[in-house]
Amino acid sequence: MTQAAHLSHSQLVVRRFLRHRLGIFGAIMTFLIYFVAAFVEFLAPHTPGAYQARDVYAPPQDIRWMLESPDGRRFQPHVYGLRSTTDYNTGQRIFEEDLDRVIELGFFVRGEGYKFWGLVPSNLHFIGPKDPGERVYFFGADRLGRDVLSRTIYATRVSMTIGLVGVGLSVILGIAIGGVSGYFGGIVDLAIQRLIEFLQSLPSIPLWIGLAAAIPPTTPPIRTYFFITAILSIIGWTGLARVVRGRFMSLKDEDFIKSARLDGNRPVRIIRRHMVPNFLSHIIAVVTLAIPGMIIAETSLSFLGIGLRPPVVSWGVLLQEAQNLRSIATAPWLFLPGAAVVVAVLSLNFLGDGLRDAADPYAN
């Protein structure tokens, strides 16, 4: 305790967070996921739209590390090519590994061309077949013969940013409205609290569907993206506004706020300079915990076919491929984008839990 007395508030917060092991784990995972989101073009072996009719519903290929060759075993990651035959009784195509066709894999290989962030043209891929003409499917292929892994990686950018942008909008709304409510109190507060209670008593998914269904299918992808984030935050701000209001209420009567007011500061300045820094850590924790909800909501809407639409790739759009029993029975690997959702949501939850504990370093 004597030692802790020398530490500043933010040092205490950091110290407390570092003790939360799941929180650290969540932070690392979250960082990795956003790292993937930042470098999708480079990390994906193929481009999301590239297809190969021969490889429709090709199963995931196993990576083998050691290659037997006439001059001995050597380290050379590779997969075997696929050969397909049709079973005439069931009409299903059966894939087999073609042991004669070795597809050598390499790091930093040249492959399909892309524009990094839509700006810089390149064809460098972190991992992929050494021969640019070959295709590999670590996560299998979908009904058009597109690489599920590459599509899942590309979807990371859309799904993870939609969570951020949606929460960003909610934060702006929540802080503004919650702040006004908590700062002024009285009748304003009462009206806003009733509004929030009302909005929270409504089932959100039917409302989201109702609003999302109104977006015309012909809307350009970027506009749809912003509509969806706006729709998600129309309801998402209420929770944040409540937290902000609660903190405002408890801070309002603190001595240092009173003295700031007596010094003749205007409300906006008091809020910005004196109150916000005081509950920033709480806000960050609540925001982090709100992102997973946004991601799940976007995924669900897109899955129903009223959120983002192809050619945009988000995890929800990809899971649409897994919508009927027939396709998941033939190609269970279409679930893999769902695993990405679960990992992302778990990581953000762990991180948020850790932050929430750290936000209040004086509790035991």
Site for other proteins in 331-360 (CB under 8 A): 332, 335, 338, 341-342, 345-346, 349-350
Question: For other proteins, which residue of 53, 120, 222, 325 counts as binding (CB under 8 A)?
Answer: 325
Q: Does 296 bind other proteins (CB under 8 A)?
A: yes
Contact pick of 52, 161, 193, 204 for other proteins (by CB under 8 A): 204
Say if strands 120-129 and 64-69 run parallel, antiparallel, or are unpaired.
unpaired
CA distance 322 to 329: 9
- Residue 210 interacting with other proteins (CB under 8 A): yes
Give the C-alpha separation, 11 to 308, whole Å.
42
User: Which residue bears the tokens 């029993």?
Assistant: 325
In whole angstroms, how close is the CB of 145 to other proteins at the nearest point?
22
Binding other proteins by CB under 8 A: which of 3, 329, 362, 363? 329
Lookup: tokens for 73: 């075993």
Query: In the numeric block, which tokens belong to residue 267?
Result: 């409300």
Q: How far is the CB of 331 from other proteins (least distance, A)?
A: 11
Got the DSSP string for 174-217?
A: HHHHHHHHHHH-HHHHHHHHHHHHHHHTS-HHHHHHHHHTTS-T
Least Å distance between CB 231 and other proteins? 11
Contact between 55 and 143 under an 8 Å Cβ cutoff? The reply is no
Nearer to other proteins, 29 or 173 (CB): 29
300-319 residues in contact with other proteins (CB under 8 A) are 300, 303-304, 306, 319
Pattern 128-147, binding to other proteins, x per CB under 8 A?
Answer: --------------------
Q: How far is the CB of 201 from other proteins (least distance, A)?
A: 5
**C-alpha–C-alpha distance, residues 318 and 306, integer Å:** 13
Beta-bridge mates of residue 93: 86
Q: Which stretch binds other proteins (CB under 8 A): 40-48, 97-105, 176-184, 209-217?
A: 209-217
- How far apart, in whole angstroms, are the C-alpha atoms of residue 219 and residue 233? 20
C-alpha torsion 325→331→336→337, nearest 10: -70
**Under the criterion CB under 8 A, does residue 91 sit at the interface with other proteins?**
no
Take residue 3 and report the two structure tokens written for it: 């030692």
Q: Which chain residues interact with other proteins by CB under 8 A?
A: 198, 200-207, 209-211, 213-214, 216, 292, 296, 299-300, 303-304, 306, 319, 322-323, 325, 328-329, 332, 335, 338, 341-342, 345-346, 349-350
